[in-house]
Structure formats: C-alpha cells, structure tokens
Structure 1
C-alpha cells in the first residue's frame, strides 16, 4: 500500500496537475495545499475551499492546508513548513514533485550546497545580486551545469524539499516527475498544457474560450463563476498599513536593509503590478517584494515563522472515501487533526497563534472578495459524495 504526497498551490488546478496525480498512481494521495495566498505573494485566484474541492474531484484523496506563514515565505520556509506537516502524519512514504531535472541531479546539488562561503556571499550581495543568486554564486564546488540546475524554477523547490526531508531526518522518500511540455511561468501552450500563470492571465482577461482545453471541466466552471484577481484591492491595504504607523521592517523574513526606501518611494503608483515592477530590481525579485508585502500586511514576523515550523498542525480542507481511511490511520496513531477552526482548542497555545493568523488572512481574503467572513469556523471540508 502506497501513500504519496504532493505539495501544491493549485492556483488554479490545471491539466498538468491532473497529469501528475494520474502519473504517480498511488493507493492514497495526500495534498498539502497553500491557503489563501501563494508563494509568489499573491492572493489565490480561487478560495482554498474551492481549490480543495477541485483537487478531490480530480483524484486527490485528502487535501490539507499549508498555513499562510509558510506559503508566503521563501522556498526554504515554504518547503520546511510543508514537510513538517507531512512528517507529523507519520503515514506518508513518498513525496512527489515536478522538476526540470532528475532526482539524482537534484540530490547531487543538495549535497554540494550544504556549506556556503559566507565571505563570498557578502561580496556577491554587495554587487547587487538577489539573495538567491548571491547564494548560488557563493557555492565554490558547483559546475556550470549544476549551477544551471539550481536556477530552474521547479528544481528550486525540489532542492528545498530534499533539504527539508534531510533536515527533519524524514522517512519520506523523494520522487521527482519531469514537467509536462511547458515550464514554470512559461507563456507557451502545448497539447493542452499551460502554466498556472498563463491560465490566470487568460481567466483574468475573461477569455474563457481559450481555457476550455487547458483545465479540467470543474476548474473551467469555477473560474467562470468566481475566479477573481484581488491584488489591486490588497495593494490598497498595504498602502494603508504603510501610512498608518511605524513598521519594524527588520522583523520580516524577506526584508533587507534599505528596502523600505523603495517601498515608500513608489507609493503614489496607482497600479499594483506597476508598483511591483518599479520596486523590484535584480537584487529584489518581484516574488520577494510581493511576499514582503504579505508579511507586512499580516504582520508575519521572522521569529514567529521560524518557531512555528516546530509546531505543525493538521487541518483538513477536502476528503473522499480513501481520505476517510487516511484520517482513521491518523486516529490510530493518536495524531490530532481539525476540520474547522472552532475545534482549535485541542492544540497548543503556539498553534492557536498560527490559527489566529490564518483566520486574519482568510477574513481579509474574503473581505476583498466581498464574501462572508469567518468561513474557517463555518465551512466543513469538501466531502466527495
């Protein structure tokens, strides 16, 4: 009996995700899914309950929530947060993820990047490179090919997943799946496969006829009914936050000394995407700026995030009959899980603090969507009939 896991955002669920679930052909498939915001630092195009339903209807057995404190952080924290939850289940045998290169190549890079030359890192940062780029340049024993492997978008997360499994001394085995036809953030459409960013752009432009062959039918319907980009509204919240008081920028994970000057300099910009383009540089990537904005708006501080990795909790967003079997396995192991935040009192005081942040994020997301508040208390997980 195999129990395999996927770490995903499903923003939105598309044909590539469906291909992955079919390809792993597991007896049981668990998905750890980002909640209301994503690792790019943007609000999800569909709410988390809808995205969980789409995943279950397309073959996942159990969808669990990845809290915002992790899914709006860098690749390392994103990965460690997800792996800490998977590890706590004590039932997963394999982690499956997409990558541009083979697992053996990824593992080679992991072992060659265990130690970094901090002096070289400081020099590369002073040259204006982003932290990720400066870090990569500071590994002395990487070949040009290995450096290229390290730079590919899906490999970046794959490398961090393997590092996190190693860090937690996990029994979970990594398994990489080559990406199907199109790359991460590619604008190319090939044989019914397109990147999530291309699909979001098509949906936001209401060009739904182009979506028909790129996503499963249920995703197609969901995007037509309620696919929304609330980034512009979220941008207004961020402006208000900067105007409303003193902010201790150094408390935030993606902050770097002097970055606040760029954040303030372009605040008179009206359009969110234009603002991101103006603030970002070679050193400060767009994703990093967007994540920092999330961290500031929701007050997600570095120390709290790092401490939270040691306090995983299990929150169910969607389930089918197979998923019920998995929850029974958790009960047998006396592993606590919740379906609604009204049940949060079974958890420690620190987990309750994480949940409090999650409620803030969910309510903000729903407010900007003009949807009812406190859905984390009211909504049951989607249960497939």
Structure 2
C-alpha cells in the first residue's frame, strides 16, 4: 500500500479539488488516499456549508478512499495550529507514505528550505531578524527580510528575488504549506511532502468562470441564489447530486450570520469572562461587547471591529472561538501534542477499509466508528477534551442545520450517525 494524505475542508468538493486529488495520486504513485477533513467549523472561523458526513460522502464518491475528521480544536484555528493537528494525525497513523498539498509556489524544495530555517532558527537568521525588528519593522516584514538575507548569504535558493520570497510568505496556500512542512520537521516525520501548483482560480476569487473556480465563489452563489444550476459546471456530478438532494430535503447551506443570535447571547452572558476564550486578547473583548448591541449580523459585527490591529481573519476566528466555547487553557493543552489519541471515521470505500486495517496493524490509535462506543472511563485529558469539543461543535452546528428537520434529530447526532460506506 502506498498511502498519500490530503488535508482538506471540501466546502464543498469542486473540480479544483478533483484535479488536486488526481494529480496527488499521480505524482506520489499512491494506491490509496486518506483525507483529513475539518468537521462542521472551518479554518477561517466559519461554519461549513453542509455537515461533515455529507461533505465526506461527496469526497469518497469523487475518489477519496477514507475521510477522517480533524478535531475541532485544531480545525478552526490559525494555520500553525491547524497544520500541527492535521500533520500530527497523519503521522500518528504510522502508515502514511506522503502528503500532497496545493500551493501558489509549486516547488516543494523551496518551501521545505524556508520551513527548515523557520523551525531551526539558525543564529545568523535570528541576528538578522533582531536587527530588522530593532529598525522598527513589523514582525512579518522583518521575518521576510531576515529570511531573504540568510538565504542570499548562504546561497540556499538559486536566483530567488525578495519580491518572489515575499509573495511566497504572503500567499494563503503557501502559508499553510509552510506550516505542514514545519510540523513534519518538528515531528521528525518520515512522511514525504509534495505540492501541486494551484490552477486557474485564485483562492478568494468570487466569480464562477470555466470549469474550475474557488470554493469562495460557490459559497457566494449558494448564499445569494436558490438556483444552484449555475455551479453545475464547476463541481463534479456527485457533489452536485448531493447538494440537490440536501436542498430537496429542506437542508439549507449554513452561514455564520445564522449563529448571530447565539453568539450575541454568549457575549452578553460572558461579558466579564470573555478573556478566557482563545484569541481574545489586546482588548478585543471590549470592542466585541460594545458593538454586539448595535450590530444586526455577524458580518456587521466583524466589520465594526476590524482595524489595523484586528484583521478580519483574526476577528472571525475569535468570534468562532467564543461561539464554540474554545478556551485558551484547552488550546494550550492540545496545541503541541506529538501524537493524536484518536481518529473519527466519516466516510470510506473498500480501499478505505484496507487503510483502516493497515492503521490497526501499524498504530495503537483509537479508531472511532461510532461515538456510542467511546469509553466513558477514559482518563486521558487530551482525548476527552478533543472529543468533548467535537461533540459540542456538532450540537451547536445542528441547531441551525436541522432547523427544518427537527423530526430527524434524536439527540447529540454524533452518537446517532454512522460513517458513510460507499460501495
């Protein structure tokens, strides 16, 4: 078995993802694929359009062999924490041969060289960084200048310009790619990294053109229009069929504004305790509380807080942490773990069965098919903390997702939903 890992959100699975999947198999010579997928809340601090089981089902129907959930505490945080959780999970399986991720740069060697410097922090690099910071540069700029000076002085990358280096360091998928590589280096993982250049559509493009567009554009259309036929050209047939099925069964796409009332109640209730939530610092709790009364939507609240000090991305993640009750203490407990205590299976096919068997033979990781089988006597604090947030985030998400289908709710749905098997 030659197993390659993919770190994904599939929100939703589109033609660009299909290209990445096929190309990943090709360049790694993979016989099997496993996707580590965010659950119901995502890395940008937003809810997923559709539930994790539906998105995992789409993935397997489009050719992924096994989809497992990235625990919530990692899934909706910064690139560093997100990557640490996903790579640690893959590494903990003891049978993954490679990882393949998309990037704007497309050159694994260049990204790996940069990641290695950032992890090892040679004295010369640290001296450059200190000098640039002493000159009054902001940290991201100083870090970029220090990297360029160190690389140039040591002839580590041929003919790279400072402009190209800064483009690498400031591009969304490169940032994630660097964090994946940093995590592999820190873990001394044997997993071999590969990257594929993103094609056609830019990450945040909001227009639907040709056969490949960004997930951002698809989400925008689903939010603004009930006519989903417009996305038929940019998603594979299994994705489109699943979306139609969900809409026909009264499930609607989930957007962050739908949680505004819940968030408002929590902010008002926890006014004096907002600082306990992760990313709530530098006085942002005061702006959140002041503006919650005058804002009529999550979007409006976010933009009322946004400033040079508080970026929109930081605000979105901060508000999401408040919504899900994610505390600084709990993030500090899990963020540096070197072994993931469990995997939650979401969907699989026959090759996925083979992967699960391989995992059982090579790792002692707890494979969770049904939450009802979880031992309530488990004394592992990390295991219990991660599981509790997975269950809680699903319950919060389902308050909105099942609004038109309350008759289908049996209780905490993680305990009543089995992994999807695609024959």
- The equivalent residue for 1:239 is 264
Quote the residue 1:6 is aligned against.
Answer: 6
1:12-161 correspondence to structure 2 within 5 Å: 12-25=12-25, 26-101=30-105, 102-114=107-119, 115=121, 117=129, 134-139=139-144, 140-142=146-148, 143-161=162-180
Q: Residue in 2 aligned with 1:301? A: 327
| Equivalent position of 1:219 in the other structure | 239
Checking the alignment, whether the CA contact within 8 Å between 2:91 and 2:189 is kept in structure 1 is yes
Q: If the length of structure 2 is used for normalisation, what is the TM-score? A: 0.84
- Does the CA-based 8 Å contact 1:341-1:355 persist in structure 2? no
Alpha-carbon distance, 1:146 to partner: 1.0
1:201 is aligned to: 220
Contact 2:268/2:289, CA 8 A, preserved across alignment? no
Larger CA deviation: 241-250 vs 45-54: 241-250
Gaps of 5+ in 1: none
Q: Aligned partners of 2:130 and 2:317: how far apart in 1?
A: 25
Q: Distance in 1 between matches of 2:4 and 2:360?
A: 19
CA spacing shift, 1:118–1:54, aligned 2, 3 Å: farther
Counterpart-to-counterpart distance in 2, 1:358 and 1:239? 22
2:185 paired residue among 166, 173, 176: 166
How far does residue 136 in structure 1 lie from its aligned partner after superposition? 4.3
Residues 190 and 104 of structure 1: is their aligned pair in 2 closer, same or farther, counting only changes over 3 Å? farther
Conserved? CA contact 2:208–2:231, under 8 Å: no
Runs of 4+ aligned structure 1 residues displaced above 6 Å come to none
Report the equivalent of 1:349: 380
- Matched-pair contact (CA < 8 Å) for 2:34–2:67: yes
Counterpart CA distance in 2 for 1:93 and 1:348 is: 32
2:156 counterpart residue number: none
Change (3 A) 1:83 1:295: same
In structure 1, distance between residues paired with 2:277 and 2:142: 24
- Say which one has the larger Rg: 2
Q: Distance in 1 between matches of 2:39 and 2:130?
A: 35
Structure 2 residues without counterparts, runs of 5 or longer: 149-161
Show the counterpart of 1:361: 393
Shift in CA distance, 122/2, structure 1 to aligned 2, threshold 3 Å:
farther
Once the 2 structures are TM-superposed, how far is the Cα of residue 218 of structure 1 from its aligned partner? 2.4
Indicate the RMSD between aligned Cα atoms, in angstroms.
2.1
**Distance across 2 between alignment mates of 1:298 and 1:80:** 20
SS in 2 for 1:352: helix
Is 1:376 equivalent to 2:376 in the alignment? no
CA distance in 2, matches of 1:347, 1:185: 42
Alignment-derived partner of residue 336 in structure 1: 366
Distance in structure 2 (CA, Å) of the matches to 1:53 and 1:256:
38
Shift of 1:166: 0.6
Matched residue count = 378
Partners of 2:380 and 2:193 in 1: CA distance: 32
Three-state SS of the structure 2 residue aligned to 1:337 is: strand
Name the CA shift for 1:118/1:238 in 2 (closer, same or farther; >3 Å). Answer: farther
Could you state the TM-score of these two structures normalised by the residue count of structure 1? 0.92
Could you tell me how far 1:348 is from its partner in structure 2? Answer: 4.6
